[in-house]
Amino acid sequence: MPQTKNPMFDDLARLMSDAAGMAQGVKREMDVVVRTQMERLLSGMDVVTREEFEAVREMAALAREENERLAARIAELEAKLASK
């Protein structure tokens, strides 16, 4: 059976191809819009960044270690005072 050229099918295929390309473009644009809105929303909420959080957590850990060291030193000095 010989194949015939049908302009209607060619037009339909072209239309579907263009629609798929347009849908991808709309998706990319929506991704950009959503990302921009989320960044604007988060910047207005005064949310800390991951780097800031990690820096403060490290500072807190160092302060906790220093407190424990100083508490041990105080206990040692009080024991010396009590023995005199």
Predicted confidence (pLDDT) per residue in 42-79, tens digit = 888 888 889 999 999 999 999 999 999 999 999 999 99
Convert 8-33 to b/e letters by CB count within 10 Å (16 or more is b): eeeeeeeeeeeeeeeeeeeeeeeeee
28 φ, ψ to 5°? -60, -45
* Amino acid 1: pLDDT: 46
pLDDT of 6 strictly over 80: no
Full-model pTM: 0.48
pLDDT of 5 strictly over 80: no
Predicted confidence (pLDDT) per residue in 18-46, tens digit = 888 888 888 999 999 999 999 888 888 88
What is the signed CA dihedral for 47, 51, 56, 62, rounded to 10 degrees?
Answer: 170
